[in-house]
Amino acid sequence: MYVDSASGKFEVKFNYYTLYLYELEFDGRDLIKDVYGDGSAIVTDDGVSFNIAAVNWTAITKALWAGAKCANPRLPRYAEWAAQDNGIPLFDVAGEVVAEINKELFRFGVAAVSE
């Protein structure tokens, strides 16, 4: 996925390496537990909905950073990246981040193949 920011578009990738980067950067924290742990992100057949008051918005920004870092290893550490005036519309991007995590990590809609 690509995200528009004040400095231009940047790529975000969610895969198993993203989980590892998140864990390394955030003292062993787990991206999945942080993003989904409080039940604020609800996945349905129609997409993703949020209990806005319960969303861990910091976890969403951390997940976004980890996905961007996965796509671009030269990206600075989270604190430096977050301190930049990036102009990312967090409210708009939050659903996209969760949807992309669902698609790439959980593979919703993709049947497991056994041989």
Per the structure block, which two tokens stand in for 56? 């861990």
Question: pLDDT tens, 74-108?
Answer: 999 999 998 987 788 888 888 888 888 888 887 75
pTM: 0.79
**What are the boundaries of each domain within the chain?**
2-106
Per the structure block, which two tokens stand in for 16? 């198993």
Per the model's pLDDT, the better-predicted residue between 110 and 74 turns out to be: 74
Place of tokens 């989904």: 36
Question: pLDDT tens, 40-82?
Answer: 556 555 656 666 666 778 888 999 999 999 999 999 999 999 8
